[in-house]
């Protein structure tokens, strides 16, 4: 099992545990954003990690691409938790949209910075 898969599984398990504990103290209020936050590292780290592990070392993402992708996933996860906390508390905030915009922009930047490397011929 490679590092991104392990990191994604650990993050997903930690978020699932956090959501379970947080909702135990939420007086019966449940938020899909809080419960579903574990899916972001699970699908965003584990799935690409399994797929990219099959590529040659030369075609794998560079450090910058991996950093941008990971930062995007972190921001998306924080945004999901933020939205979940606000829903459980019973309020809303327009600032939550910033998390989604920045998170998706960072993930897109990671993908775009990886594209030239992926298109290189195999050596």
Tokens at 123, concatenated: 């050596």
Q: Mean of the pLDDT values across residues 31-57? A: 90
**Inter-CA distances, 82 with 19, 39, 61, Å:** 12, 15, 30
pTM comes to: 0.91
- Predicted confidence at residue 58, as pLDDT, reads 78
pLDDT at 51 exceeding the cut of 80 = yes
pLDDT at 110 exceeding the cut of 90 = yes
Domain count, the chain: 1
Confidence band (pLDDT; 50, 70, 90) for 121? low
Tokens at 53, concatenated: 């592990």
Confidence band (pLDDT; 50, 70, 90) for 75? very high
């Amino acid at each position: 099992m490679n590092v991104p898969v392990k990191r994604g599984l650990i993050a997903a398990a930690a978020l699932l545990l956090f959501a379970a504990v947080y909702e135990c103290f939420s007086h019966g209020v449940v938020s899909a954003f809080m419960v579903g936050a574990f899916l972001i590292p699970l699908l965003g780290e584990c799935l690409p990690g399994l797929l990219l592990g099959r590529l040659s070392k030369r075609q794998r993402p560079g450090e910058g691409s991996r950093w941008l992708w990971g930062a995007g996933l972190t921001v998306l996860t924080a945004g999901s938790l933020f939205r979940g906390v606000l829903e459980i508390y019973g309020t809303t905030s327009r600032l939550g949209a910033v998390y989604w915009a920045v998170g998706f922009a960072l993930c897109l930047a990671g993908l775009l910075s990886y594209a030239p490397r992926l298109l290189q011929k195999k050596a």
